[in-house]
Amino acid sequence: MNRVEWSRLDAGARAALLARPAEMNAPDVSEQVAAILADVRERGDQAVREYTQRFDGIALDDPRVSAAEMDEASASLPDRLRGAIEDAATRIEAFHRAGMASDYALDTAPGVRCERMLRPIARVGLYVPAGSAPLPSTALMLGIPARLAGCEEVVMCTPPRADGRADPAVLHAARVCGIDRVYRIGGVQAIAAMARGTASVPACDKLFGPGNGWVTEAKRQVSSGAGAVGIDMPAGPSEVLVIADAGANPAFVAADLLSQAEHGPDSQVILLSDDDALLEAVDAQVRSQLERLPRAAIARQALACSHLVRVASLDEAFGISNRYAPEHLILALRDARGWLPRVRRAGSVFLGDWAPEALGDYCSGTNHVLPTSGAARYCSGVNVSSFQVAITVQEVSAQGLAQVGPCAAELASAEGLEAHRRAVTLRLEAVA
């Protein structure tokens, strides 16, 4: 990992240090993603089949997973894995159910009733990555809130394995969530199919799920322009920022950094500390632990764009973290809870030495589909409300119109909108 001292960097070097790896290849990726999206929009299933053959090496006939395949997948799992999936689902559901919003209503004036009611998004598309590693946990993180929200139809896409089948753990997780419409399609072509619709895959109203830089760019493009669909957020290559003090356990910190670095070559990990000895010890631990990882080659690529940063103080560390707005933020501090009020921008926070980020990835209960690339500055991780729309209602009596009508008429007049004003004053005259 790159070792730097924050105080010695100028403004340009600081910005470069906090830049995400995926941002460096954005123009080239953007053009290629646009071409694939346009092709799928034009040729539908045929284009999807061709891109699946090109990128995954799989010749698809019918991309949809059958009910028999779902049954076989569940039956094939070891009991311990099946139990872990179901155990995680229980905690994820408990956490998300507790945070569900509800309808509300109040009288803003006598005779003026204002309400907000929540309705589920009718059809949602869930993307579950399975490129270098299948992610059944993502199926739970997306499928459970969708079920709690009451979405009428849920479509899931996940890349096929080398044998052409969908990962059985992903399929069982989908079944736990009550999802039976699953397609063996990955990458940009999956986003295109769910956004625009094909003969096989229905068009969805909103798309959810993390992915690599290509998938994230595809989501961004389908969310704008003609025929745009909603997306949850930019949920791209994984990232973690750790703030650690002298008392942190170097082995724990190194393991947390590597747990994100092994996600993919475009992942990024950053450690901020005010203690030189801790930085040196973590560096040594990263080197040692890396040698024992099956995905060491992937992690090494991610570490090339990652940093060990010496800061002057923990106050400075929190300033850097809020500027970076990390997807995951680990506070390996002696009084982690006491420092929590300093956090302004982060997808999910892990307090103290005994809260590895991996628990949030799998089974603590919070959601691991989180904003990346600094999007934590303006959006939150997936939750039940992500799958709902809020509709406001107003009910006004003659008495209520008399109460608030003059206010509306005055404002309409100030804005020069005479038809607006008359829509109110005609009624006021009828009430008088």
Q: Are 127 and 157 in contact (CB under 8 A)?
A: yes
CA angle at 230 for the pair 95 and 385, rounded to the nearest 5°? 25
Residue 119 in tokens: 């309705």
- Catalytic annotation present for 327: yes
Question: Is 307 annotated as contributing to ligand binding?
Answer: no
Residue 238 annotated as lining a ligand binding site: yes
Q: What residue ranges in 277-336 does DSSP mark as E strands? A: 307-310, 328-332
Exposure pattern of 263-277 as b/e (b: 16+ CB <10 Å)?
bbbbbbbbbbbbbee
Tell whether residue 324 is among the known ligand binding residues. Answer: no
Output Rg (C-alpha) for the chain, integer angstroms: 25
Does 189 count as an annotated binding residue? yes
> Other C-beta atoms within 10 Å of 193: how many?
29
CB atoms inside a 10 Å sphere around CB 249: 16
Tell me whether residue 51 is annotated as binding.
no
Ordered strands of the 348-351 beta sheet: 2-5, 307-310, 268-273, 239-244, 328-332, 348-351
Q: Is 362 annotated as a binding residue?
A: no
State the helix-helix crossing angle for 168-176 and 136-149, rounded to 10 degrees: 20
- 73 phi, psi to nearest 5 deg: -65, -45
Flag whether 285 is marked binding: no
Q: How far apart are CA 231 and CA 37, in angstroms?
A: 15
The answer to whether the beta carbons of residues 280 and 248 sit under 8 Å apart is: no
25 annotated binding-site participant: no
Q: Check 328, 395, 410, 429 and give the catalytic one.
A: 328
Residues 6 or more apart in contact with residue 131 via CB below 8 angstroms: 159, 186, 187, 212
Check 327, 368, 410, 418 and give the catalytic one. Answer: 327
> Residue 5: what residue type?
E
Q: Is there a binding annotation on residue 388?
A: no
Is 328 a catalytic site residue?
yes
378 is in an annotated binding site: no
What residue numbers does the annotated binding site for Zn(2+) cover? 260, 263, 361, 420
What residue numbers does the annotated binding site for substrate cover? 238, 260, 263, 328, 361, 415, 420
Active site members: 327-328
What residue numbers does the annotated binding site for NAD(+) cover? 127, 189, 212
What residue numbers does the annotated binding site cover? 127, 189, 212, 238, 260, 263, 328, 361, 415, 420
